[in-house]
């Protein structure tokens, strides 16, 4: 019996009411308490208490009960200065709803912090995290739905929403109900589940009327991410029940899946046409956009997401498509607030985020008549696509139509900047080691984009140029003379066993045999290792000053057309995704300031603490890789033939040179760490796959071989931590496992990094 009482007490404590964020800080300050004193009393870290006050995180049991008790006692000593009572954040007010609710009626399900808490930003460290990041609702307060309640019954855990027109604290009143809603049917009634637990009653009886309701009454959307940008259109997610209600199929036929859309003659598309709504060129598919042409600055566009049509790819979104509506709204809402409202797949969203942060145009200063005009936005890619250099063009590109049929281009004709896929046999000494330990670089490609100078204009061809590491471009240069047995590490020359290291210049780690095309970061690294480079030609993207230094005549027309420009286009993109990743990992208990030991412990099973937030982490990672992949999107069917242009070429963001530069820098960053680790410890990798590197060691943990001294890592080497560019433990397998797998599959150089995580080896031939 006492165990039951304890369980009840724990359940009550898990929902201990807390005052609003500002009141928490006021009460602490009123009693003269510092954050350190509160943290010491509650036996938590200083950053934890700071997160509770800023809304970055919410306290969880057992600390929540103690924290609530502290604030309650302080409230008795220091009542609010006004007569109005301070609202309790997690109070629950049951409400009865009629069977036919008014169109704008709303209600809220308790899913953790109230809307004002969900809207707060993680701004404790503004120097390292400049972009605002919304806090995710606490998982301990997520509602559990086992049955669908009647619309006329009292709905457990619900409360009245704020009156219409009353925005949540810190939100745009136009979008007070959040960026998106999941539309579902319960007992014949249509409900829209929004972020923060808000549920709206939907009167729409057809898809055209649902679009109208979304734009006129739902107050959904998201403010623009940059000054010259545009507000995000509202996103409506349709459950299977909603699809049936609005005359749409629950699943696409095989023919429709192949086409990626419904046929033009579908009855719902005809309904939209009669209501004068239009669809974009991709038609009515898993991510449909329904719009009317803009009038002035007013946009009329709604995007649909249909999970049962595979809109939420399970490779990146896990089981998100199977979640109940309220939980799916929470998951997608967290992603939207921290990254952006999804615009399609994670790859599409990653690409759209680039232009949302750096729009092509901006409003000019007022002219003589006081009118503003659209002009080029400095630092953007512009509004018109540009041709790539021939060496940057993928096979089948229109620039290559003069090549003989079936011609295979080699490194001297085509740039091969790709991620590592390298492995070697174990040495006799390594075979005597007990284990293989894998390290994985966090957000490796995002870190490769950070601070990278990329071209913004058209490529310019130059002969016999002097290499400039600050000049983005593609260079034809012979790097076969670079000897990894003797390289510069910092300012000193060191001797290494070059046979045990991959070449930094090729994806397969093979030493180049002659001249080849490389992106700027690769050539710059050859110089860093202490070797001279002498390009024979290059396609570069200089700014005006660099162009003139190269002897190029820059006309006024060139300057007005922004032909010569480069810059750190991806910095804002990196910052946004980094902040989203770190904030979500912090919600999962993995903070950026943990010691190496605490970090490894926090990473152990972190996904199980909140599976939905773990999906957000996966989606953020996929947004990075997918967005970069979209920079060199290949043809996607549509009857394309080699030599013909494909749809992606019409985008200003089709930039294979930027993709090549990011991958080059990512590969070089990893090789630099490998070299410094080898120079300091004498340990060499046995396999590298993309952002994962494997070492043969006697221990089982990264701490058993990474050279930490008094808690400090090797400068420039591998460092454990959650930040992008730092590493985590990917997995450990025995050396006997490695040799057994290679023997079993008759593959002495099987890339063990591919299987180090769980030891499962499948489809060796195709590397899947």
3-state DSSP helix/strand/coil % of the chain, to nearest 5: 35, 15, 50
CA angle 616, 620, 621 (to 5 degrees): 120
Q: State whether 287 and 402 are in the same domain.
A: no
C-alpha to C-alpha distance for 63 and 628, rounded to whole angstroms: 42
Which has the higher per-residue pLDDT, 38 or 583?
583
Q: Residue 34: which CATH number?
A: 1.10.260
Q: Which residue has the higher pLDDT, 649 or 709?
A: 649
With respect to residue 670, please indicate whether it lies within any of the assigned structural domains: no
- CA trace torsion 256, 262, 264, 270 (10° rounding): 160
Verify that 70 and 215 share a domain, yes or no: no
Residue 286 lies in a domain: yes
pLDDT at 374: 87
Does residue 208 sit in the same domain as residue 339?
A: yes
State mean pLDDT over 187-196: 94
Summarised one tens digit per residue, pLDDT across range 437-496 is: 999 999 999 999 999 999 999 999 999 999 999 999 999 999 999 999 999 998 999 999
* Residue 32 confidence (pLDDT) above 80: no
Distance in angstroms (rounded) separating the CA atoms of residues 152 and 129: 46
Predicted confidence at residue 7, as pLDDT, reads 60
Final residue belonging to a domain, choices 547, 567, 587? 567
Going by the DSSP 8-state scheme, the letter that residue 715 receives in this structure is T
Distance CA 516, CA 347 (A): 30
290 Ramachandran zone, left/alpha/beta (phi>0; psi -120 to 50): beta
Q: Does pLDDT of 113 surpass 50? A: no
pLDDT class for 631, splitting at 50, 70, 90? very high
Both 175 and 269 in a single domain? Answer: yes
Asked if the model's pLDDT at residue 680 lies above 50, the reply is: yes
Distance in angstroms (rounded) separating the CA atoms of residues 136 and 609: 14
Whether 688 has a pLDDT exceeding 50, the answer reads yes
CA gap 206, 208 in Å, rounded: 6
Q: Could you tell me if residue 767 is inside a domain? A: no
Token match 């008094």: residue? 710
- Note whether residue 232 is domain-resident: yes
Do the domain assignments include residue 652? no
Tell me: do 277 and 146 sit in the same domain: yes
Residue 425 lies in a domain: no
Judge whether 28 and 53 are in contact, CB under 8 Å: yes
Residues found in the chain: 768
Q: How many CB atoms lie within 10 A of CB 333?
A: 28
Segment 406-430 mean pLDDT: 95
pLDDT band at 5 (very low <50, low <70, confident <90, very high): low
Long-range contacts of 484-489 (CB under 8 A, 24+ apart): 484/529, 484/675, 486/530, 487/529, 487/530, 487/675, 488/528, 488/529, 488/530, 489/675, 489/676, 489/679
The predicted structure's pLDDT at residue 50? 78
Q: Which residue has the higher pLDDT, 255 or 142?
A: 255
Q: Is the pLDDT of residue 87 over 80?
A: no
Residues in Cβ contact with 492 at an 8 Å cutoff, skipping those fewer than 6 apart: none
Residue where a domain stops, chosen among 59, 77, 95:
77
Residue 1 pLDDT > 70, yes or no?
no
Residues 132, 222: one domain? yes
Q: Which of 351, 326, 327 is nearest to 340 (CA)?
A: 351
Model confidence pLDDT, tens digit, residues 44-57: 877 788 778 877 67
Q: Which residues pair with 693 in a beta bridge?
A: 439, 688
Enclosing domain of residue 466: 390-418+446-567
Bigger pLDDT: 111 vs 230: 230
pTM of the shown model: 0.80
On whether residue 268 sits in a domain, the answer given is yes
User: For the chain, how many structural domains are there in total?
Assistant: 3
CA angle in degrees (0–180, nearest 5) for 343-349-352: 90
Q: Are residues 36 and 123 in the same domain?
A: no
Q: Which of 333-337, 390-394, 430-434, 551-555 bottoms out in mean pLDDT, i.e. has the lowest? A: 551-555
Based on the fold, state whether residues 406 and 525 are members of the same structural domain: yes
Q: Domain boundary at 540, 567, 594, which?
A: 567
Contact residues for 125 (Cβ-Cβ < 8 A; gap 6+): none
Are 564 and 544 contacting, i.e. CB atoms less than 8 angstroms apart? yes
Residue 641 dihedral angles phi and psi, to the nearest 5°: -125, 145
* Residue 469 shares a structural domain with residue 550: yes
More confident residue, 114 or 541: 541
Residue 233 DSSP class:
P
Q: Give the pLDDT score at 528.
A: 97
**Mean pLDDT in the chain?**
86
**Cα–Cα distance, 56 to 117 (Å, whole number):** 9
Distance, C-alpha 17 to centroid of its chain? 33
Residues 406 and 554 in one domain: yes
Residue 758 domain flag = no
What integer is the mean pLDDT of 711-722?
93
Residues 114 and 67 in one domain: no
Peptide bond into 715 cis (omega under 30): no
Q: Based on the fold, state whether residues 192 and 313 are members of the same structural domain.
A: yes
Residue 500 has pLDDT above 70, yes or no: yes
Cα(293)–Cα(281) distance, rounded to whole angstroms? 14
């Amino acid at each position: 019996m006492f165990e039951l009482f304890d369980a009840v007490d724990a359940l009550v404590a898990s929902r201990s009411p807390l005052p609003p964020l500002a009141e928490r800080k006021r009460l602490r300050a009123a009693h003269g308490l510092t954050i350190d004193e509160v943290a010491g009393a509650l036996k938590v870290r200083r950053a934890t208490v700071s997160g509770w006050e800023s809304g970055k995180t919410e306290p969880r049991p057992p600390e929540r009960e103690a924290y609530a008790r502290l604030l309650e006692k302080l409230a008795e000593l220091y009542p609010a200065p006004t007569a109005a009572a301070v609202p309790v954040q997690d109070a629950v007010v049951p409400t009865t709803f009629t069977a036919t609710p008014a169109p704008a009626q709303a209600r809220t399900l308790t899913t953790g912090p109230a809307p004002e808490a969900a809207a707060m930003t993680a701004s404790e460290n503004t120097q390292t995290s400049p972009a605002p990041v919304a806090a995710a609702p606490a998982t301990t307060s997520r509602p559990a739905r086992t049955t669908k309640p009647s619309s006329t019954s009292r709905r457990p855990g619900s409360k009245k929403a704020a009156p219409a027109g009353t925005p949540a604290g810190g939100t745009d009143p136009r979008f007070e109900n959040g960026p998106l809603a999941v539309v579902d049917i319960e007992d014949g009634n249509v409900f829209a589940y929004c972020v923060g637990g808000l549920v709206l009653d939907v009167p729409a009886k057809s898809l055209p009327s649902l679009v109208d309701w979304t734009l006129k009454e739902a107050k959904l959307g998201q403010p623009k991410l940059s000054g010259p940008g545009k507000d995000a259109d509202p996103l409506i997610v349709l459950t299977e029940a909603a699809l049936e209600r609005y005359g749409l199929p629950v699943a696409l036929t095989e023919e429709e899946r192949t086409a990626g859309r419904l046929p033009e003659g579908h009855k719902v598309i005809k309904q939209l046409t009669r209501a004068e709504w239009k669809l974009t060129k991709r038609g009515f598919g898993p991510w449909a956009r329904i719009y009317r042409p803009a009038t002035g600055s007013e946009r009329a566009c709604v995007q649909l997401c249909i999970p049962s049509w595979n809109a939420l790819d399970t490779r990146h979104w896990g089981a998100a498509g199977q979640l109940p509506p309220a939980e799916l709204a929470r998951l997608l809402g967290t992603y939207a607030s921290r990254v952006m409202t999804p615009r399609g797949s994670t790859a599409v969203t990653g690409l759209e985020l680039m232009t949302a942060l750096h729009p092509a145009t901006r409003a000019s200063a007022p002219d003589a008549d006081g009118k503003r005009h659209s002009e080029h936005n400095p630092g953007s890619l512009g509004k018109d696509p540009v041709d790539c250099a021939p060496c940057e063009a993928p096979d089948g590109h229109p620039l290559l139509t003069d090549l003989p049929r079936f011609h295979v281009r080699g490194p001297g004709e085509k740039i091969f900047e790709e991620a590592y896929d390298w492995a070697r046999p174990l040495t006799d000494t390594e075979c005597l080691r007990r284990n293989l330990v894998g390290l994985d670089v966090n957000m490796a490609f995002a870190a490769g984009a950070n601070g990278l100078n990329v071209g913004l204009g058209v490529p310019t061809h130059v002969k016999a140029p002097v290499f400039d590491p600050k000049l983005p471009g593609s260079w034809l240069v012979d790097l076969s003379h670079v000897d990894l047995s003797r390289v510069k590490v910092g300012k000193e020359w060191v001797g290494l066993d070059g046979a045990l290291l991959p070449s930094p210049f090729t994806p397969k780690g093979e030493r180049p045999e002659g001249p080849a095309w490389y992106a700027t970061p690769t050539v710059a690294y050859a110089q860093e290792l202490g070797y001279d480079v002498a390009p024979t030609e290059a396609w570069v993207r200089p700014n005006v000053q660099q162009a003139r230094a190269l002897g190029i005549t820059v006309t006024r027309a060139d300057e007005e057309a922004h032909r010569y420009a480069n810059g750190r286009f991806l910095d804002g993109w990196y910052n946004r995704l980094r902040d989203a990743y770190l904030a979500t990992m912090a919600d999962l208990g993995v903070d950026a300031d943990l010691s190496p030991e605490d970090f490894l412990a926090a990473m152990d099973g972190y996904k199980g603490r909140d599976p939905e937030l773990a999906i957000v982490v996966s989606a953020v990672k996929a947004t990075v890789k997918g967005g970069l992949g979209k920079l060199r999107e290949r043809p996607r069917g549509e009857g394309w033939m080699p030599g013909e242009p494909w749809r992606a070429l019409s985008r200003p963001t089709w930039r294979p040179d930027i993709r090549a530069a990011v991958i080059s820098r990512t590969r070089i960053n990893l090789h630099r760490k490998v070299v410094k680790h080898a120079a300091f410890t004498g340990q060499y990798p046995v396999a590298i796959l993309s952002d994962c590197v494997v070492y043969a060691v006697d221990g089982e943990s990264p701490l058993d071989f990474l050279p930490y001294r008094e808690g400090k890592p090797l400068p420039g080497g591998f460092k454990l931590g959650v930040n992008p560019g730092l590493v985590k433990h990917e997995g450990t397998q025995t050396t006997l496992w490695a040799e057994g797998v290679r023997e079993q599959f008759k593959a002495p150089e099987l890339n063990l990094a591919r299987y180090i995580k769980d030891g499962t080896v499948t489809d060796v031939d195709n590397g899947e």
